[in-house]
Amino acid sequence: MQMKCQNVTRHRRRHEEVSTATAAQRSLPTFIAAAAASTTTVATTITTICCCIWLLLVHAPAPTQTRRLQRCELAGQLYILDVPKSELSLWLCIAHYESRYNTHVVGNRNADGSGDYGLFQISSRYWCQPDNGTKYYAFNECNVKCSALLLDDITEAVDCARTIQRRQGWSAWSVYSVYCNRTLNEVDDCFESVSEEVHVDSEIEK
């Protein structure tokens, strides 16, 4: 009787061991499948992140060249761009109070949602086209993108500002009546060194 009990016990142990091994074998494919699915998910996530980064880099706006001009430096550039010398003091005054001679300034949003750009704070409502295609863009009378008014090369900004002045006068800038509609400092000091150099060159040629 004791021998039979021992045999039964051994048989049960073997059966349990076989069952455990079988269960382990059955669970192994499930584990492998789960691991594979997890790996696929991670790979997909990494791929998605890489694609997003690539899109951001591709569609990121090009860096804008900007700087703060000095008074006489701006006077010289305006003169080179055919601004009459008699108007230079006014343009310098407007640029000073509108942007402090900074080419890259974008003002706070106006009540109608438009923005003001560059040296002369030119409005996107009437005069330039915003890059983002905002609904507040309406006319683009200067036929120029607003971003072009922020460049280190101030040609577009000056051309547009002069267009505004011809059509609306100096009062198109609110700072004019407050700060610039008065006797202003002349800009002769900005051209003295140039005049002296020309005079010296003339003497040498003689």
- Give Cα 40 to chain centroid, integer Å: 37
Q: Among this protein's residues, is 116 annotated catalytic?
A: yes
Question: Please, which residues bridge with residue 145 across strands?
Answer: 129
Are 106 and 150 contacting, i.e. CB atoms less than 8 angstroms apart?
yes
Candidates 82, 87, 116, 205; catalytic one = 116
Candidates 16, 98, 131, 203; catalytic one = 98
Whole-number Å distance between alpha carbons of 125 and 88: 26
Q: Which two tokens stand for residue 46?
A: 């990494």
Q: Among this protein's residues, is 153 annotated catalytic?
A: no
Are 119 and 70 contacting, i.e. CB atoms less than 8 angstroms apart?
no
Whole-number Å distance between alpha carbons of 103 and 161: 13
Q: Which of 166, 186, 187, 165 is nearest to 176 (CA)?
A: 165
Active-site residue set: 98, 116
